[in-house]
A and B are shown apart, each in its own frame.
Chain A
């Protein structure tokens, strides 16, 4: 695809949870919980408030289509603020500081005074019906010349457990939202910008890590298409694909529009009750439905079933709209006969509603009320197909396609959170914010200063174990040993089923110091970590004592005299081989000695001793 030709414009919003001690507007810890540990449940209804102009926000109104009861799980780590039973505390200063740090790293200008707003969200994910959010800084720059518009500090929403049930542990965790201008023109550029911002965020060392802690929303439009926001893209590697598929979808919808116009297609707004036609049907879905309604789409035949994205057709879009009424989906004649509906039934249906060959018939099956609502939604979406691409908020599906969620929210859905006072960002505060080293710069420094190879340096810099690495190096541990232990060794052990996660940072540091001090050989590190993991949580002792105990058990110290006597014995036993190979015997003999010593002596010491012994023999 030629993206310039298509006029692709894309921007991203990145949401990153901050790793603060407390939540943004209450004093609860930012801990996620297992729903099985909930201490209670309660439920509420939410309703949209009429605005001054008598309008209810269109996104909010869409969510109101179904009268829904929301259920919330609560925990002993959650308070009345998350329950929407108490006013918020002042904004968490730690979160503000992290946000300002990120703003400064992105070259932004802070607002002189930060005002917390209430952003209307009535999908149940916020007990109050709004999300508290504050614009902290404006106008940042990215290396490729792209512009960052804003950074906002806001509270994380509650996690959906299923349907209308939410878990309150996540509600209120501080989150920064970084919004770029629509300044990207290729799918790859979008992914690169996301990767760069993600790196900047992690450089602070104060953001949460792991699945779900960072989410990207992607805004995509093409010329003649419409702005579409795809929410909740969690995997960085999928971003380019999501953009590609959305561009494809919009182009396909435009092609469908053109075809429809050519055919003078239109939507017949007479909804026909066809329940009786299916009285003897074998389709289990139709059989149990109280009401089956049909909508005739004139001139739509073949286009409702046309693929617009891998695994998605125009019919899928209609189905998404219909699902807002609580139905399971729709059937359309482009895909029938199928699902237990026979060719004969399809023919009867077409005849009954007066469908011509070029028409497509859509049927919905549910209770009378739901089916009526769904038929209405199908007609609304079909009308949209006649004008092209609707502005929408969509959710990402697996592999990068997307499904309709709700209309794009209007701009007018925010008003001040009067319970939180505005905060002044003084020049002194802004000046006091220290800018941390970028992880990319840090990786380069590790190559330069520590002689790590580039791949390892980058791995260390981007790893969650970076703080441990830096502490170890500061304590005098050789960077290569620290890096290999923290990354390669730990990962290999974990893969082999050793619970290295149980070994505390202090124990790892004590272990590395012991190796550095010559109390254990670096070859013994895997055995020692395994022992520490095995005994984690049992037995007392300081990290140093525990490490010494592990050394005592797994790799008892061997004296230099012991090493030399073992080396002498092994060389003597293989004298013929040694004489034959000369100094070339060093390598093979080394393995034998190390095996005997079980890694309790540094390889360097062994190799020197062996070299001396061989020289003596050969001399």
Chain B
């Protein structure tokens, strides 16, 4: 039998009726064909036969979007999060679009806000992010700012977007907005939040902000986006548009949609504050451990030789009493151990209960009200830049990038 290729025209026999369709692929022993009525079905490969080889497809429509030279220039850096995609209804394939031109074709309103240049540093699912890519990202953002970008938009998968944003925040001092954006509903669907999130991001990126932030839907309505501080934002829902929440503080601002008017709180750092500065060292030998009742202390053996460990403890910041000797050993061996809370809301206080006091006495550092993931990223950065454990410990309790609130509200 001839080997079929995607796009080939095929004949398909079903219950005595002959039909025609387009061959898509073979998956798990089944041939997938798209019938002429648009539906895909799976069939045994022997039930189809080649009718006609695929005609060469005309190149994808490559209309060039003219950009307005009088508008400020933004840089769009993509890491794999999709803010634009294109559907091939012939085969059903959905392809992500990363070039500024393609993004502008998908979201034409962007052209009225700024001009854009694009840069792709990765094309990965965000669960495959890693510290080396955070560093590469921070360098790329720094580079774009140095080359005159009025603002930077980073497109990112939403799963670990908050960690990446926090990592860039610790490594980079920026006088211009650096906005992380993603979508919770895939960009191929008419209801996707991609367009609104991106438009709001562009509005913030050309505005008065001067720090790293995440801009995503504020509610389930298409009414406004929230601007979240990179070090205090967390994805709090698996699927909703408004999954991203500022934790322990109000958002830095909002963008009304479709008006795209930006309002920033007094707390938001303003554009032009300081000079761009990059300190991109990270200590990768750091871990984050979520404690559960009955978790054996030998788990900690896996972190042997680590420079730092963040614990996501229970309540005010606890792990089982039987962990204390092991933790003492690790800390004496040079590991910096920071306690955060799996409550996510509120501040760690290890001075209330005996276990807490014991943890402090062996040298565990209270991570204040830092989010566990932010504390991890910070620990990597602190240990990458400060070798002295005592000073590193002090830095962990000092607000460096808006990650610690002086007061709990």
Using a CB–CB distance below 8 Å, which chain A residues touch chain B?
Answer: 42-55, 57, 60, 69, 80, 83-87, 108-109, 111-115, 117-120, 122, 127-130, 133-135, 138-139, 149-150, 152, 411-416, 418, 422, 424
List of B residues within 8 angstroms of A411 by Cβ? 36-38
Q: Do A52 and B42 have beta carbons less than 8 Å apart?
A: no
Query: For residue B394, which residues in chain A have a CB less than 8 angstroms away from its CB?
Result: none
Q: How far is the CB of B30 from chain A (nearest CB, A)?
A: 5
Contacts of B94 in A (CB 8 A): 415, 418
What are 17 sample pairs from A and B whose C-beta atoms fall under 8 A apart?
A: A49-B188, A49-B190, A50-B86, A50-B87, A54-B60, A83-B220, A109-B16, A111-B41, A113-B32, A128-B191, A129-B189, A139-B17, A149-B37, A150-B37, A412-B38, A414-B89, A415-B93
Does residue B88 face the partner (Cβ distance < 8 Å to A)?
yes
Which residues of B sit under 8 angstroms from A109, Cβ to Cβ?
14-17
Contacts of A57 in B (CB 8 A): 89
Give chain B's interface residues, CB within 8 Å of chain A: 14-17, 19, 27, 30, 32, 35-44, 47, 58, 60-61, 63, 85-90, 92-95, 105-106, 184-185, 187-191, 195-196, 219-223, 238-241, 258
Question: B residues within 8 A CB of A422?
Answer: 27, 30, 32, 42
Interface of B is mostly: loop
Q: Tell me whether A127 and B191 are in contact (CB under 8 A).
A: yes
The answer to whether A152 touches B39 (Cβ under 8 A) is yes
Task: Name the residue of chain B whose CB is nearest to the CB of A130.
Answer: B189
In the assembled complex, the CB of A151 is this many whole angstroms from the nearest CB of chain B, namely: 11
- Set A83, A86, A117: member contacting B39, Cβ < 8 A: A117
- Whether A45 and B40, one on each chain, are in contact in the complex, defined by CB atoms closer than 8 angstroms, is no
CA distance A43 to B222 in the complex (A): 6
Cβ of A49 and Cβ of B58 under 8 Å apart? no
Alpha-carbon distance between A411 and B90 when the two chains are bound, in angstroms: 9
- Asked if A48 meets B190 with Cβ closer than 8 Å, knowing A109-B14, A413-B89, A415-B94, the reply is yes
A130, B85: Cα distance in complex, Å = 16
Minimum C-beta distance from A122 to chain B (A): 5
Which residue of chain B lies nearest to A53 when distances are taken between CB atoms in the complex? Answer: B61
Other-chain contact of A54, B37, B61, B187, B223 (Cβ < 8 Å):
B61
A57, closest chain B residue (CB): B89
Are A44 and B39 interface neighbours, CB within 8 A?
Answer: no
| Chain B residues positioned under 8 Å from A414 (CB to CB) | 38-39, 89, 92
A108 and B37 CA atoms in complex are apart in Å by 17
Whole-angstrom distance between the Cβ of A152 and the nearest chain B Cβ: 7
- Would you give the shortest CB distance from B93 to chain A, in whole angstroms? 8
Contact B38 A52, beta carbon cutoff 8 Å = no
The answer to whether B60 touches A52, judged by C-beta atoms less than 8 angstroms apart, is yes
Interfacial chain A residues near B32, Cβ < 8 Å: 113, 115, 422
Contacts of A48 in B (CB 8 A): 190
Given A112-B43, A117-B38: A49 in contact with B106 (beta carbons within 8 A): yes
Contact among A115, A129, A415 for B190, CB-based, below 8 A: A129
A23 CB → nearest B CB, Å = 17
| Cα A134 to Cα B42 with chains together (Å) | 11
Q: In whole angstroms, what is the CA distance A53 to B35 when docked?
A: 19
Closest to B16 in A: A139
Among A49, A133, A414, which residue has the most Cβ atoms of chain B within 10 A? A49
Contact between chains at B190 and A119 (CB < 8 Å) = no
Residues of A within 8 A of B43 (CB): 111-113
A80 with B239, Cβ < 8 A, contacts A53-B61, A112-B41, A414-B92 known: yes
Partner of B17, one of A47, A129, A138: A138
Give the residues in chain A near B86, CB-CB below 8 Å. Answer: 49-52
Q: Which of A69, A86, A118 contacts B239 (CB 8 A)?
A: A86
Q: A541 vs B1: C-alpha distance in the bound complex, in angstroms? A: 72
